[in-house]
Amino acid sequence: MACLARRWSDLNFPIHFPWFGASDDWQGRLHLLAEQIEAMKEIPLVV
């Protein structure tokens, strides 16, 4: 994400990534990470 943050001053960047930096975006990313952590705690499926 740091590489994206460095591009914020590029005039085209905010046009193509309007969601970047919004609190909703970060909340969504944190939620996805929390779901992944919970999934890793489950017993793995064996085929």
Buried b (16+ CB within 10 A) or exposed e, 9-42: eeeeeeeeeeeeeeeeeeeeeeeeeeeeeeeeee
Which pLDDT does position 31 carry in this prediction? Answer: 95
pLDDT digit string (tens) for 3-42?
777 888 888 888 888 888 788 888 988 999 999 999 999 9
Which pLDDT does position 1 carry in this prediction? Answer: 67
Determine if the pTM surpasses 0.85: no
Which pLDDT does position 19 carry in this prediction? Answer: 83
Which pLDDT does position 33 carry in this prediction? Answer: 95
Which pLDDT does position 8 carry in this prediction? Answer: 80
**Cβ contacts of residue 25 below 8 Å, gap of 6+?**
19
